Amino acid sequence: MSDDKTIIRQLKIKTGVVKRLTKENGLYKKEIETLQKSADSLEAQGAEGADVRNAQNLVKETVRVLDDTLTRLKDAVGDLQDYVVSVESKENIAKDESLAAAKTALEEAGLVVGSEA
């Protein structure tokens, strides 16, 4: 029984990581859009070159963070997929809602990772 609790705990942790990174990925995409609009607006208004460069640097930095988040998400998805495959054959685990939550998180993350490929 203790082994099952450990497995379920790890499943919840790994699922949480995938959910968090999926959410972060979406937030960074929105932030990039907002920052890009701001940079474009500054440029259209004829703002000083330094202001425009700073705005463009913010966009570039956020793109780098998004790339890092996507890499971490892909790693977390792979880790969770491997873990799900290794534990779903256990009878007590197959009935647990944590396994269903993990599969749902994998589907949602798969949509994000698949669209970035």
Mean pLDDT throughout 57-61?
96
Whole-number percent of the chain with pLDDT over 90? 70
Fold classification of 2-27+60-116 is Methane Monooxygenase Hydroxylase; Chain G, domain 1 (1.20.58)
Q: Residue 23 is encoded by which pair of tokens?
A: 């959410």
Note the pTM of the prediction, 2 decimals. 0.86
Largest distance between two CA atoms of the chain: 67
Distance, CA of 9 to chain centre: 20
Q: Each residue of 63-89: pLDDT tens digit? A: 999 999 999 999 999 999 999 999 988
Say whether pLDDT at 1 is over 70.
no
DSSP single-letter state for residue 1:
-
Q: Each residue of 3-31: pLDDT tens digit? A: 889 999 999 999 999 999 999 999 999 99
CA gap 67, 55 in Å, rounded: 19
Say whether pLDDT at 90 is over 90.
no
* pLDDT at residue 59, rounded to an integer: 96
Please name the residues in contact with 67: beta carbons below 8 A apart, sequence gap of 6 or more.
none
Residue type, 106: L
